[in-house]
């Protein structure tokens, strides 16, 4: 099986795992899909060093690994709620079947947007931030920044132009310029959505 075929298999297993967990949390009698999750984590570990992959394959792998990390964190929270019951108002938004929230939880819960600085942050009004010192060696950060920028533009209806390679070259050049101009080690990039318009900002870290 080629790397592309294995990445396709990982994507399929990840989608299946998400569906299996949705079924599990909506039915108190179901068992968690540990066998499918084991297959997913095994594939993610297998490619974690990224040495055998091309740039595009590594980008695709990183996107799936991050997706799994976000979902996995959510599933752990839901699992804790299923075992222990609701403890905080924001837990009620996770909606685990078979757990009865109190009146306070039902009336005061607030939506929770993602975990940490994920790509959706820029879409929801919170800036997505990446600190970069050497864009050439920090490809993962550049890929994450590109992903956040393209997703935010797609969400706001803006046209997405330029490939990942051209964006990486731009970030590399911009980082070098700002470091030289401001005599700094690190450049802070942010993707923000303001007034429906997506903006990519770069500034020296003081």
Query: What residue ranges do the domains of the chain occupy?
Result: 3-108, 120-204
Q: Which of 13-17, 57-61, 94-98, 196-200 comes out lowest in average pLDDT?
A: 94-98
Give 104 or 44, the one with higher predicted confidence. Answer: 44
H helix intervals, the chain? 3-26, 34-46, 55-84, 103-108, 120-123, 139-156, 164-182
What is the pTM assigned to this prediction?
A: 0.45
Computed over its alpha carbons, how large is the radius of gyration of the chain? 20
Q: Which of 126-130, 178-182, 185-189 comes out lowest in average pLDDT?
A: 126-130
Give 103 or 165, the one with higher predicted confidence. Answer: 165
- Cα distances (Å, whole numbers) of residue 135 to 35, 145, 147, 173: 38, 11, 15, 9
Cα–Cα distance, 9 to 48 (Å, whole number): 16
């Amino acid at each position: 099986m080629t790397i592309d075929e294995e990445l396709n298999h990982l994507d399929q297993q990840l989608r299946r795992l998400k569906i299996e967990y949705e079924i599990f949390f909506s039915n108190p009698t179901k068992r968690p899909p540990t066998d499918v999750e084991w297959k997913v984590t095994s594939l993610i570990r297998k490619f974690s060093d990224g040495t055998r992959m091309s740039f595009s394959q590594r980008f695709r792998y990183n996107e799936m690994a991050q997706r799994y990390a976000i979902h996995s964190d959510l599933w752990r929270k839901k699992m804790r709620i299923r075992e222990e019951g609701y403890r905080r108002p924001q837990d009620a938004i996770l909606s685990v079947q078979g757990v009865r929230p109190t009146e306070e939880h039902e009336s005061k819960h607030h939506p929770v947007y993602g975990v940490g600085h994920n790509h959706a942050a820029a879409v929801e009004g919170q800036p997505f931030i990446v600190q970069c010192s050497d864009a050439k060696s920090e490809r993962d950060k550049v890929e994450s920044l590109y992903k956040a920028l393209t997703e935010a533009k797609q969400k706001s209806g803006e046209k997405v132009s330029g490939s990942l390679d051209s964006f990486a070259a731009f970030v590399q050049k911009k980082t070098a310029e700002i470091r030289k101009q401001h005599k700094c080690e690190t450049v802070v990039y942010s993707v923000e959505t303001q007034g429906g318009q997506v903006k990519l900002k770069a500034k020296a870290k003081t």
